[in-house]
């Protein structure tokens, strides 16, 4: 005859599940974005532009040289970078050229920008379409290619940016962590 288990028979199983579940449910999120990381030569030109700003009296939070990059899509907090890398692996990147040649601002954020590039726009469209098709969330703001030079700038002004080009043959999945001295960007993978 079937009998209801008395509580004392059920509780070991329950406590087993409860012991496991914190691990099973624990997921660590990472702040992710997809970027083009820049050539040394381009970074040097950007640091020169930052120095011109500083010497001209601009004060604010200047991006450290190692953080200078071009974001293609900002994903934000997401639990599974492997998932994103798999999606990116399905995108073909044929080498193309980008040219740094301008400077501008969004409010008090000053940036260096790129000459219009249909090839870059096409890559961004493919990346964002692939993310959307896979249900990976990302910031849908219109793509406006910029490399942040200084945030929260006081006395900002546009500087001359010497035209400089580089070939892009891969894009990178990056994680962003808040360090003691500011943001730390680390490449997780590339395609």
Residue number with CB closer to ligand 2AM (3 or 172): 172
Indicate which single residue of 41, 66, 83, 139 sits in contact with ligand 2AM (rule: CB under 6 A).
Answer: 139
Give the per-residue contact string, 19-48, with ligand 2AM (x = CB under 6 A; - = no). --------------x---------------
Shortest spacing between CB 70 and ligand 2AM, in angstroms: 8
User: What is the rounded CA–CA span in Å between residue 137 and residue 157?
Assistant: 35
Tell me, residue by residue from 144 to 163, as one string, x for binding to ligand 2AM by CB under 6 A and - for no binding. ----x---------------
Q: Can residue 83 be called a binding residue for ligand 2AM (CB under 6 A)?
A: no
User: Shortest gap between Cβ of 71 and ligand 2AM (angstroms)?
Assistant: 4
Dist. CA 27–CA 64, nearest whole Å: 31
DSSP tag of 135: T
Query: What CA–CA distances, in Å, run from 154 to 32, 57, 105, 109, 181?
Result: 29, 8, 12, 10, 20
Centroid of chain to Cα 50: 21
How far is the C-alpha of 34 from the C-alpha of 139, rounded, in Å? Answer: 11
**Which positions touch ligand 2AM (CB under 6 A)?**
33, 71, 74, 139, 148, 176
């Amino acid at each position: 005859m079937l009998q209801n288990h008395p509580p004392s028979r059920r509780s070991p199983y329950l406590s087993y599940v409860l012991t496991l579940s914190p691990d099973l449910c624990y997921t660590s999120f990472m702040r992710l974005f997809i970027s083009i990381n820049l050539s040394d030569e381009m970074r040097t030109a950007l640091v020169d532009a930052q120095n011109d700003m500083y010497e001209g009296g601009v004060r604010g939070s200047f991006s450290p040289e190692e953080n200078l990059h071009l974001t293609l899509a900002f994903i934000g907090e997401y639990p599974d970078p492997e998932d994103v890398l798999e999606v990116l692996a399905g995108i073909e990147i044929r080498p193309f050229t980008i040219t740094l040649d301008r400077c501008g601002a969004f409010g008090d954020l000053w940036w260096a920008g790129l000459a219009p590039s249909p090839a870059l726009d096409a890559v961004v469209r493919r990346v964002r379409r692939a993310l959307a098709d896979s249900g990976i969330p990302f910031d849908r703001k219109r793509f406006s290619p910029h490399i942040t030079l200084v945030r929260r700038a006081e006395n900002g002004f546009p500087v001359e940016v010497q035209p400089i080009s580089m070939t892009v043959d891969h894009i990178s999945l990056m994680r962003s962590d808040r360090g003691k001295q500011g943001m730390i960007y680390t490449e997780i993978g590339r395609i």
